[in-house]
Every structure is written in C-alpha cells, then in structure tokens.
C-alpha cells in the first residue's frame, strides 16, 4: 500500500463489481478511505470491502440506487455520517446493463441505459 491518498475520502458508485470494484481496491491501496456504493448486491460489496480491509485499507459499503433521488440523498447522508461531509474523489461508475435485441428496444430502453 502507498500513502499518496492518505486522508482522502473516495466514493465509487457501482463499486461492488467489475471496473468499480477494481477502482475501489486501487484507491484504497493508495491510501484513500473508500465508500463502496452498490444498488442490490450486498454480498459483492461486502466482499470488496473485506478485501480492502484484509489488505490494510479502510472501506465501507453503502446501499443506494443512484438512479433514484432517494438513493442520492442516502449517499450524501452516508458521506456526512462517515466522512464528516468531506468527499475528495468521486468515481461515478454506476450503470445498468439490460440485454434486448435492438429491434425490441425503444427510446425508453435507450434512455434508461444511457442516462440513468
């Protein structure tokens, strides 16, 4: 672990899997305290946090669906409660992936996938 991000607080939305999980682990390895956001897969988020902690880092998992206003409010409350309102790094990685044949999907599907 390096210490270049010591004292920094990071939020990684969609941090329970894939690129988000890898980013959360890297930020923690560089010394940041990391909030791993997840929408629905608590066990995956807890696994990321567990790996960070086992390597000497600091992380917490926070459930919030950032496509919903109430989820964004929950994240701000968690930042206040856990980071004293300080947020130095935001990795806005959350996204959705719904498979559908292009001829079966419409504007609503496109908007949800691209802009939600």
Domains of the chain from N-terminus onward: 9-115 (3.40.50.720)
Q: In the chain, what percentage of residues exceed pLDDT 70? A: 88
**Band (12; pLDDT cuts 50, 70, 90):** very high
- Give the whole-number percent of the chain exceeding pLDDT 90: 77
In terms of C-beta density within 10 A (0-12 exposed, 13-18 middle, 19 or more buried), how is residue 93 classed?
Answer: buried
Mean pLDDT of 61-81: 95
Per-residue pLDDT at 50:
98
Give strand pairing partners of 33.
Answer: 9, 58
State the average pLDDT for the chain. 91
> Any residues with CB less than 8 A from the CB of 81 and at least 6 apart, and which?
none
> Is residue 99 scored above 90 in pLDDT?
no
Q: What are phi and psi of 34, to 5 degrees?
A: -115, 135
């Amino acid at each position: 672990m390096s210490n270049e991000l010591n004292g920094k607080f990071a939020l990684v939305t969609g941090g329970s899997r894939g690129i988000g999980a890898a980013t959360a682990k890297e930020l923690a390895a560089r010394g940041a305290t990391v909030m791993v956001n997840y929408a629905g897969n608590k066990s995956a988020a807890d696994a990321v946090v567990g790996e960070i902690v086992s390597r000497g880092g600091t992380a917490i998992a926070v459930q919030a669906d950032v496509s919903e206003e109430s989820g964004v409010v929950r994240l701000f409350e968690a930042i206040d409660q856990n980071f004293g309102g300080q947020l130095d790094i935001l990795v806005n990685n959350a996204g959705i992936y719904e498979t559908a044949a292009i001829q079966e999907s419409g504007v609503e599907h496109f908007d949800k996938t691209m802009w939600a």
